[in-house]
Copies of this chain bind each other. A is one copy, B any other.
Amino acid sequence: MEKGLMVVVSGPAGSGKGTVNGHLLKRDDFVYSVSATTRAPRPQEIDGVNYHFISREDFLSRIASGDMLEYTEYCGNFYGTPLKEAIEVLESGKNLILEIEVEGAHNVKAKYPDAILIMLLPPSFAVQEQRLRGRGTETEEKVLARLERTKEELSVVKDYDYVVYNHDGKDIEAAEEILAILKAERASIRRNPSVKENYFA
């Protein structure tokens, strides 16, 4: 069986990561990588679905044993991707989606160079700002912090393999673009080193 692909999707607040990844996850060949975190669950968040909620002590011990593909500390909490589960999904032939921050993405690529790094973006900073304010659910301070954070995120976009724009009302098209990327990656010579041998076999 062909191994699944590890797909890292990052994107600033307002990029629509959750919606676009949701389209992919409706397919039975995609699995969402559930991160481990030390932060407290929010109302309606389910352990093992939204996150594996674990203690700080447990998290640090997993880092020490090499069982974190990537991890980061953000606002005083740890977030990370358990390695063993990721490998199991790929070996089962399914693609694994990691919805993670830019720092984590960089570390994934370093530890697992076959990972495909995709940056999902709103069409422009102006549209992003409209979207964040349009939500009406966050304080002005929080909105400004998210917009400021976007500058950091864009400053490492060159470390990514692909950039996909999520235009208003076009989230299905963005998901299709990600599917096209995976199709192309599967056809790349880099991922098919034994073309000649297989052809004459």
Interfacial residues, chain A to chain B (CB-CB below 8 A): 119, 121, 124-125, 151, 154-155, 157-158, 160-164, 177, 179-181, 183-185, 187-189, 192-193, 195-196, 198-201
Identity of the chain B residue whose Cβ is nearest the Cβ of A179 in the assembled complex:
B180
**CA distance in complex: A187, B181 (Å):** 8
Question: A154 touching B124 by the CB < 8 A rule?
Answer: no
Question: B160 touching A199 by the CB < 8 A rule?
Answer: no
Given contacts A177-B183, A184-B181, A195-B154, contact A125 B161 (CB under 8 A): no
Query: What are 23 A-B pairs at a CB distance below 8 A?
Result: A119-B195, A121-B195, A124-B201, A125-B199, A154-B196, A154-B199, A154-B200, A157-B195, A158-B193, A158-B195, A161-B188, A162-B184, A162-B187, A162-B189, A163-B192, A177-B183, A180-B180, A180-B181, A180-B183, A180-B184, A181-B184, A181-B187, A183-B184
